[in-house]
C-alpha cells in the first residue's frame, strides 16, 4: 500500500511539472490535438499509479514522450498553416447578418441547439442580438453583437425560447412554457411560412417571435399580447 501511495505522489508531481511546461493552453481552451494529449496523459498516469507490476519509469517516460510530441506539434504548426488547419481545423462563421448559416453548422456536425447553447454561454439569447458569430478551432464561440440602440426596462427583459428547431416543434419547450402549438402554427401561416421550411423559431414573454427560414434571412414579428399560453 505504501508503494502505491509513493508511486501516486511521484506520478502526480511528474504530471504537474509536465502540464505546467505545456503552458496555459492545456488548462484553458484546448485544440483537438491538445485534448488528445491531455486524455492520453491521464490514462498513462493512472496505469503505473495503481499497477505495481508496471515500472514507474514506463509511466514517466510515456508522459514525457507526450510532452515532446506536444512541443513538436506546436513548433510544426507555427511554421505550417496547412498542418495547423489539418490538426486544428479552421474557424467557421456560423452566424452573419442574414442569420444562422445552416450549411456551416452541418459541416461541423453541429445542431442548432448546440449553437443556441454556445450563444447562451457567450451571453446572447437571441439570434437577432448577434451580427456575426464564429466557432473557433478550440470550440469557443466568438460573437460580434449588434450595438444596443436603446435601454431595456426590467419589464421588457424576456427569455427567447426555441419552440421549433430544424423543422420540428420542441414539445418540452412548448410544454414548459405552456404554449399552444396550434396558435403558433397559425402565426406562422399568417406570415406565409410553414414549420417544415424553418430552421428556428423562438418566442419570448413579450410576444416577440423570431422566424428563421432554412435558407433565408430571419425576420421578427410581434404577436404581442396575443400569445396564447395553454
Partner 1 sequence: MVKQIVAAAVIFLLLVGLGLTEMFVVRDNFSALEKEFTEMAVKIQEKTLTEEEYNLIWEDWKKRRETVEFFLNHTDFAEMDFRMAECHAYIKQGNYQDAAAQADVLTELTRHIPHLLIPTPEHIL
Q: Compute the least distance from the CB of residue 62 to partner 1, in Å.
A: 10
Q: Compute the least distance from the CB of residue 136 to partner 1, in Å.
A: 22
Q: Compute the least distance from the CB of residue 74 to partner 1, in Å.
A: 8
Cβ neighbours for 116, distance < 8 A, ≥ 6 positions apart: 162, 200
How far, in Å, CA of 6 to CA of 19, rounded? 20
Q: Which is nearer to partner 1, 72 or 159 (CB)?
A: 72
> Contact, 195 vs 188, CB < 8 A?
yes
How far, in Å, CA of 89 to CA of 109, rounded? 13
If binding is defined by CB under 8 A, does position 21 make contact with partner 1?
yes
What is the signed CA dihedral for 135, 141, 144, 147, rounded to 10 degrees? 150
211 CA to centre of own chain: 22
If binding is defined by CB under 8 A, does position 122 make contact with partner 1?
no
Q: Compute the least distance from the CB of residue 90 to partner 1, in Å.
A: 23
How far, in Å, CA of 92 to CA of 134, rounded? 5
Q: Which is nearer to partner 1, 39 or 72 (CB)?
A: 72
If binding is defined by CB under 8 A, does position 167 make contact with partner 1?
no
Q: Compute the least distance from the CB of residue 1 to partner 1, in Å.
A: 17
Among 61, 76, 86, 93, binds partner 1 (CB under 8 A): 61
β-strand partners of 161: 203
If binding is defined by CB under 8 A, does position 64 make contact with partner 1?
yes
Instruction: Select the span of 69-77, 95-103, 133-141, 155-163 touching partner 1 (CB under 8 A).
Output: 69-77
| Nearest alpha carbon to residue 63 among 33, 5, 21 | 21
The site for partner 1 (CB under 8 A) is made up of: 21, 23, 52-55, 57-58, 61, 64-65, 67-68, 71-72, 74-75
Amino acid at each position: 500500500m505504501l508503494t502505491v501511495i509513493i508511486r501516486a505522489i511521484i506520478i502526480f508531481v511528474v504530471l504537474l511539472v509536465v502540464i505546467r511546461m505545456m503552458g496555459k493552453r492545456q488548462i484553458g481552451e484546448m485544440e483537438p490535438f491538445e485534448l488528445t494529449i491531455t486524455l492520453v496523459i491521464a490514462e498513462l498516469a493512472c496505469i503505473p499509479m495503481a499497477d505495481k507490476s508496471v515500472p514507474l519509469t514506463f509511466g514517466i517516460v510515456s508522459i514525457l514522450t507526450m510532452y515532446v510530441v506536444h512541443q513538436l506539434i506546436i513548433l510544426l504548426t507555427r511554421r505550417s498553416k496547412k498542418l495547423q488547419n489539418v490538426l486544428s481545423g479552421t474557424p467557421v462563421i456560423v452566424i452573419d447578418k442574414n442569420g444562422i448559416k445552416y450549411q456551416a453548422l452541418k459541416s461541423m456536425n453541429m445542431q442548432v441547439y448546440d449553437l443556441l447553447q454556445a450563444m447562451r454561454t457567450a451571453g446572447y439569447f437571441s439570434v437577432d442580438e448577434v451580427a456575426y458569430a464564429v466557432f473557433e478551432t478550440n470550440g469557443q464561440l466568438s460573437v460580434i453583437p449588434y450595438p444596443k440602440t436603446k435601454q431595456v426596462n426590467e419589464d421588457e427583459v424576456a427569455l427567447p425560447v426555441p419552440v421549433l428547431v430544424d423543422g420540428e416543434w420542441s414539445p418540452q419547450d412548448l410544454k414548459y412554457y405552456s404554449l399552444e402549438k396550434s396558435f403558433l402554427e397559425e402565426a406562422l401561416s399568417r406570415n406565409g411560412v410553414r414549420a417544415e421550411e424553418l430552421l428556428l423559431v423562438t418566442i419570448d414573454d413579450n410576444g416577440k417571435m423570431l422566424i428563421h427560414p432554412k435558407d433565408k434571412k430571419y425576420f421578427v414579428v410581434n404577436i404581442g399580447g396575443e400569445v396564447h399560453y395553454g
